[in-house]
Amino acid sequence: MQTQNYIGGRWCDAQAGGRLAVLNPADDSRIAEVPDSTAADARAAVDAAQAALPFWRATPAKQRATLLKRWNDLILEHQDTLGALISLEQGKPLAEGRAEVAYAASYVEWFAEEATRANGEVIPAPVASRRMLALREPVGVVAAITPWNFPAAMIARKIAPALAAGCTVVAKPAEDTPLTALALVALAEQAGLPPGTLNIVSASREHTPAVVEAWLDDARVRKISFTGSTAVGKHLARASAATLKKLSLELGGNAPFIVFDDADLDAAVEGLMVSKFRNGGQTCVCPNRVYVHSTVHDRFVEKLATRVGALKLGPASDGGSQIGPMINARAIEKIERHVNDAVAHGAKVVVGGRRVRNAVAAGPNYYAPTVLCDATPAMALSCEETFGPVVPIFRFDDEAEVLALANDTPFGLAAYFYTQHMARAWRLADALECGIVGVNEGALAAEAAPFSGVKESGYGREGSTHGLDDYMHTKYVCQGGLS
């Protein structure tokens, strides 16, 4: 377990000496302390990244790829310990912690391979005396700011393409889950990443604005890649305008999940269980609104309730638990507020609907997996992301009506639907206003797929062949006088 910042190839404390306690959400006990960094640490990290940039961008792509592959191998060698660390500081069940490590490594491996394929173009010139080329080059120093819900995967998905492209990185993991990110950086150091190419500072909720402002104000930082709330994403877009940084923003969602009357109901229940209850519902692509056709509504709810009622709630330390604690008190309070508001507006609790505290779920952060019926657009949970294990079910009667409801949100990250009707599947896939669509499928994430939203869910693509572009510029070179 690493508990210091890593700047310019050295592990160090925050310059002002501040420390930040990392808590286990299972019982709020203290796991470790990490640096509570300030603007001075953030600037030192940029100094190191800027100093390393000329060397790293000139390093042949094949060598960058070799280092990334070594990092990938080390991550996978440490899958059990890293998985346990994720579960310890984030709360997700052990099997999910291990799975997240493989998911994180898949981005490192993917971008190691993409590094060697960052081809440019030779453009047919309009006159014989010229050669025209489009060259791809790294944007420069990248700031990666990552969330707590996937402490390994989100940082890997940003750092790996940045390093593959020849950028150097300054990173700040979420205040709730810095330990996984620090451990990943320790493995990158072991893999032989040169000093200064990857730098990381941790900071408390109180000091995070100063760290981020230091990066926003610094013209040497050419790109910010952020995953988190839409409100913070909008602030980053406004504040980075002064130095016109490139941005990748993966922001909030409000995913619809639609079950048509011709759907395979068992498959739809399965897809919903997978997509909704992954990480206890703390995933930005989780279905937030479930629309079920009136004619299959009661059967679907009955099947779903049976599955949800059987989910095992408990700490990650209990190997059998399927739903862990929520990340912190603020998360629990939001879930409780949404459920209470829904009930006050006429929703019926089919399963769950309450906090749990007992001998197994012994801390204050557990919420029972919940199914609510008779949800309506008047409820807060229909327009805000709940980020917890709550399934609100809305009835609908026709396709045009449900499509309008699904799109009636400023967000546009993911959407899901279940139908056996081929023409409808393509109509919906085209008409849904979002960046990611699941057709008869609940598990969508993959390193080879472009992940991102539209509307107020952000812009920029992570993963896939497009993921490298976000860390590169295209430079036009025209050589004349050749005839």
Residues in contact with ligand SIN by CB under 6 A are: 149-150, 153, 227, 250, 283-285, 445
Give the nearest distance from C-beta 374 to ligand SIN in angstroms.
Answer: 28
Q: Mind spelling out the 3-state secondary structure of the chain? A: CCCCEEECCEEECCCCCCEEEEEECCCCEEEEEEECCCHHHHHHHHHHHHHHHHHHHHCCHHHHHHHHHHHHHHHHHCHHHHHHHHHHHHCCCHHHHHHHHHHHHHHHHHHHHHHCCCCCEEECCCCCCCEEEEEEEECCEEEEECCCCCCCHHHHHHHHHHHHHCCEEEEECCCCCHHHHHHHHHHHHHHCCCCCCEEECCCCCCCHHHHHHHHHHCCCEEEEEEECCHHHHHHHHHHHHHHCCEEEEECCCCEEEEECCCCCHHHHHHHHHHHHHHHHHCCCCCEEEEEEEHHHHHHHHHHHHHHHHCCCECCCCCCCCCECCCCCHHHHHHHHHHHHHHHHCCCEEEECCCECCCCCCCCCCCECCEEEECCCCCCHHHHCCCCCCEEEEEEECCHHHHHHHHHCCCEECEEEEECCCHHHHHHHHHHCCCCEEEECCCCCCCCCCCECCEECCEECCECCCHHHHCCEEEEEEEECCCC
Q: Establish how many alpha carbons lie within 13 A of residue 197's alpha carbon, considering only the half-sphere containing its beta carbon.
A: 28
Give the nearest distance from C-beta 457 to ligand SIN in angstroms.
Answer: 10
202 vs 227, beta carbon nearer ligand SIN: 227
Based on the residue annotation, tell me whether 478 is a catalytic residue of this protein.
Answer: no
Lookup: tokens for 240: 């980075």
Catalytic entry in 284, 286, 373, 434: 284
List all residues 6 or more positions away from 363 whose beta carbon is below 8 Å from its beta carbon. Answer: 25, 26, 27, 28, 315, 325, 357
350 vs 445, beta carbon nearer ligand SIN: 445
Distance (Å, rounded) from C-alpha 92 to C-alpha 26?
A: 9
Distance (Å, rounded) from C-alpha 186 to C-alpha 114?
A: 23
Distance (Å, rounded) from C-alpha 361 to C-alpha 344?
A: 27
Residue nearest ligand SIN (C-beta atom): 445
Least Cα distance to 387 among 243, 229, 215, 171 occurs for 229
Based on the residue annotation, tell me whether 250 is a catalytic residue of this protein.
Answer: yes
Give the nearest distance from C-beta 48 to ligand SIN in angstroms.
Answer: 28
Handedness of CA 181, 84, 278, 27 (dihedral sign): negative
Catalytic entry in 250, 385, 456, 462: 250
Catalytic residue ranges: 250, 284
